[in-house]
Structure 1
Amino acid sequence: MEMRQGRKPRQGWAGLWNISFGFFGIQIGFALQNANMSRVFQSLGSSIDDLPALWVAAPLTGLLVQPIVGHLSDRTWLGRLGRRRPYFLTGALLATIALLWMPESNGLLMAALLLWMLDASLNISMEPFRAFVGDMLDRDQHTAGYAVQTAFIGAGAVVGSLFPYVLDHLGVANTAAAGSIPDTVRYSFWVGGIALFAAVLWTVVTTREYSPEEHAAFHGEEPAEDAASSAALAGRSLLGGVRWIAAGAIVAAAVWNWALEKEVYLLAALLAAYGLASLLAIRLARAGRSASMLAGIVGDFAGMPPLMKRLAFVQFFSWSALFIMWINTTPVVAQYHFGSADPASAAYQEAGNWVGVLFSVYNGVAAIAALALLPVLSSRLGKARAHALCLAAGALGFGGFLVLRDPDALVICEIGIGIAWASILAMPYAILASSLPQRKLGIYMGLFNVFVVLPQLLVATVMGSIMKPLFPDEPIWTMAFAAATLLVAAAASLRIGEGEQPPLL
């Protein structure tokens, strides 16, 4: 590492590798979840209409876990383990247990509870990793750091997505009796769990976090914003919280009156819960208890920097498209490209394996694009415009599902989606890490990721109410929704503005 006075050590490729290698394992876990959970649920007897409700555990845990972990990790220092690494290790251990146990599910309830545990654990590990890059690298390496992290995300997802396909070709049974999970999926979860823990352990062992004193030396005395945030929170009207509660009540009444999908009740509950949290946080701030976790999280959420708010809007629509894809690709490909909507059929299980291959393609493209394409685009166009171009490529990829019927041709679609995925994982975080105060990097990254999970919750709760009356038994049209949301995100990216730092990679 090359030392520079008053700045963090400049990391070489070995340092960048060690800092982000744990994400390789975390993404194996996410890839196994994203490519196989719909298959697991349907193999255990779920109908396609029930998939969003079963999937809702994943984004809900992210919504709850990431701000809390971000808040705590900013305030943690456990000796040699440091600030972020305790959360990497804890999350990896719990995620490994969930992956090893998942294939033993004997019913939908057990599988849904294990998905809840798995996603919560992955989020415990993932959120501090985002802040970890900002902690360990100086500003002129942020783009490089998040590009390397994205490359590992893509590589881990390729490995995780290909497990069932490879095992099938090695002769492992790819079908199972009704109500059972195929051995290809079973063994994939077991191997993936071990790989996840080993990769995260590598980062924990090979890195040393900077102490609070070293951070102070690198960044100087950052302005204390807690008092200002507390005063701003205390000065807020209680009427805002009441309005959120009223909005939740209105949504719940609409579900009851118009017999909407029952999952929408969760949306109503979340609106009301945020209203209650706001009221309690304001009262805590007025009572001089702004140091509480709730007051801190609500105050920081309300006081997000303007650039972060603009990026949050882009993230919201970007991740809506991704969650639509993760839920619906297997039933779409099975029905429209393999000719079977029956989860017990060999054609459906073959489609499930092919979806794993398709997911490995877009993740492989993302790994390459992160290192070879994004630096070129960002240097020539700026990060915001480069991000918009990549999102438009993803929209074209989703649109291809509607016009291509040859399963092999879907690989072309995945190239566009992979380019968008690379940018979604790298560009917003590179822009943010250079503009946020280091002492609050964890909480702001956690709050930013709320706009990753909120659209997933909306997709899980609202999509069924939209699709069932408009396109009954036609899941292919979910891909049109995904394309449209990415185009909205691309247009919003052009409005981020050039308040970001100039390209540095």
Structure 2
Amino acid sequence: MHPSTPKPRLSFWQLWNMSFGFFGIQFGFALQNANTSRIFSTLGADPSQLALFWLAAPVTGLLVQPIIGYLSDNTWHPKWGRRRPFFFLGAVLASIALFLMPNSHMLWMAVAVLWLMDAAINISMEPFRAFVGDKLDPSQQTAGFAMQTFFIGCGAVIASLLPTIYADYLGVSNVSVNGGVPDTVRYAFYAGGAVYLLAVLWTVFTSEESPPEDMAAFRRDSGKGLGHGIAEILDGFFHMPKTMLQLAFVQFFSWIGLFAMWIYTTSAVAETVFGTTDARSELYQDAGNYVGLLFAVYSGVSALAAFILPVLARLTSRKAVHMICLLVGGLSLASVFLIHDRTMLVLPMIGVGIAWASILTMPYAILAGALPASRMGYYMGVFNFFVVIPQIVSGLLLGFITEHFFGGHTGYTLALGGVSMALGGLLTLWVRDDAKAAA
């Protein structure tokens, strides 16, 4: 249900301003996705260890997002509003982590910084999802999430290309010296720290939030304390709306595919296309840059698709669009291990980009229409369980499967991820979406 007072329809530039912070958030997130396995491998990690080291991402999300969602639901400041204090705090912490990450000289240091980075990203990212539900009428919510997806794609394109830009156009060294992180990656993370903070500050200072309609009731509910909030979070996990439960299964299999892609694409491409498994070799670092280019492709496609998906949803339905996008993305990801020509790798990344755009838009648009407005942040945080749980499962199992069933060949792990994503697409058929799919 939604509040009785209709929400004003926002202009294009108001949607732009409230979503621009996601440009910075995804700038940092894309640097992490494209380069973390590369950094870990350069510092001595074995391919079978990578998924385990990546557990920082989902575990911090599992712990942080529901709590931040609850806290942001129960926060109000006359100047800072409800969600914006968390945007700001997360941005400061994430920027610090982005500066620290490429200066890790030992594997354990890089893993520790990844924990900090993911916690910080989650602090600023989770309230952005609830921000759409707060500010937009249901008729604009799909467009609001699509605008976020557009900035996610734009930020990821630039961030993913940065190491290649530094190497090819600015003459920065792309070679690991004494087992350290190449300067191309180092400078890319420095730029990411600055962009993250500035982009989020843009949204903080150009967007406004409306106070709770019933301030007395809000103060009464918000005074119950964090202990009460944690109890509510756990209770909500077992009493979630039916639509959320249905989407949970779709999310589970979709994110197994994404996590497999982020962890293993660099090592798979290095082995099958560049012909090396030596993480400190120049060829391996070249493969890392090329994977950044491939990730820029899927991110760019997602930015463009973000504005097409709402139109297709109006013509058909949101769940039909999501199903088709996941099937396309899953089959595309599964095909990567069959390709040995670097240029041809662009094709499956186009399909992955279509799926990524829908993953970032449709589930949240469907869900927002099924949630009570007063608990939007809380339920969005609970919904994040079904983003992080599959990543935890992947972190615990994919390394074992890669080593013992695939003989260490990570290309097969990518294929397994693609099959999982396609299965998520089929499960979309069972999702109920009663809300109007309006832009």
User: The TM-score by the shorter chain falls in which range?
Assistant: over 0.9
Partner-residue secondary structure (3-state), 1:46: coil
Distance 2:278 2:108 in 1: 21
Q: Check conservation: 2:332, 2:348, Cα contact below 8 A.
A: yes
Alignment-derived partner of residue 313 in structure 1:
249
CA distance in 1, matches of 2:134, 2:29: 24
Q: Counterpart of 2:8 in 1: which secondary structure?
A: strand
Per-residue deviation, 1:473: 2.0
Tell me if 1:502 matches 2:439.
Answer: no
* Counterpart for residue 377 of structure 1: 312
Q: Please name the residue that 1:162 is paired with.
A: 161
Equivalent residue number for residue 330 of structure 2:
395
- Select 2:341's aligned residue among 373, 383, 406: 406
Contact kept? 1:139, 1:434, Cα under 8 Å: yes
For the pair 1:485 / 2:394, whether they are aligned, the reply is: no
Q: Over aligned residues, Cα RMSD in angstroms?
A: 1.8
Matched, 1:339 2:275: yes
Q: What does 1:37-436 align with in structure 2 at a 5 Å threshold?
A: 37-169=36-168, 170-213=170-213, 292-372=228-308, 374-436=309-371
Which residue in 2 is equivalent to 1:465? 400
Residue-by-residue CA offset, 1:442-487 (whole Å, 9 max, x unaligned): 0100010110011111111111222222111211101111111012
CA distance, structure 1, for counterparts of residue 423 and residue 387 of structure 2: 15
Distance in 2 between residues matched to 1:391 and 1:8, nearest whole Å:
32
Measured after TM superposition, the shift of residue 291 of structure 1 is 6.7
Asked if the contact 1:43/1:178 (under 8 Å) is kept, the reply is no
Which 5+ residue runs of structure 2 have no aligned equivalent?
none
Q: Distance in 2 between matches of 1:97 and 1:377?
A: 40
Give the aligned partner of residue 449 of structure 1: 384
Larger radius of gyration: 1
Contact 2:54–2:395 under 8 Å retained in 1: yes
Aligned length: 431
TM-score normalised to structure 2 length: 0.95
> Residues 355 and 300 from structure 1, CA distance in 2 versus in 1: closer, same or farther, beyond 3 angstroms?
same
Is the partner of 1:494 in helix, strand or coil? helix
Structure 2: distance between partners of 1:37 and 1:6: 46
Amino acid at match of 1:159: I
Distance 1:500 1:489 in 2: 20
Task: Percent identity, please.
Answer: 50
Structure 1 unaligned runs (5+)?
A: 227-287
Shift of 1:376: 2.8
In 1: Cα distance, 2:300 partner to 2:25 partner:
16
3-state SS of paired residue (1:72): helix
Pairwise CA distance, 1:79: 2.2
**What SS does the corresponding residue of 1:212 show, helix, strand or coil?**
coil
Distance 1:351 1:412 in 2: 17
**Higher mean displacement: 391-400 or 195-204:** 391-400
Q: Does the Cα contact within 8 Å between 1:44 and 1:178 map onto a contact in 2?
A: no
Contact preservation (8 Å) 2:233, 2:378? yes
> What is aligned with 1:263?
none
User: Quick check: 1:178–1:344 contact (8 Å CA) kept in 2?
Assistant: no
Cα separation, 2, equivalents of 1:195 and 1:132: 21
**CA distance in 1: counterparts of 2:380 and 2:126, whole angstroms:** 7
What are the superposed Cα offsets for residues 397-424 of structure 1, whole Å, 9 maximum, x if unpaired?
1122122210111100000000000000
User: 1:293: Cα distance to partner?
Assistant: 2.1
Q: Name the CA distance, whole Å, in 2 between partners of 1:463 and 1:344.
A: 23
Question: 3-state DSSP class of the match of 1:78?
Answer: coil
**d(CA) in 2 for partners of 1:376, 1:137:** 18
Q: 1:188 to 1:151 in 2, by over 3 A?
A: same
Amino acid at match of 1:146: F
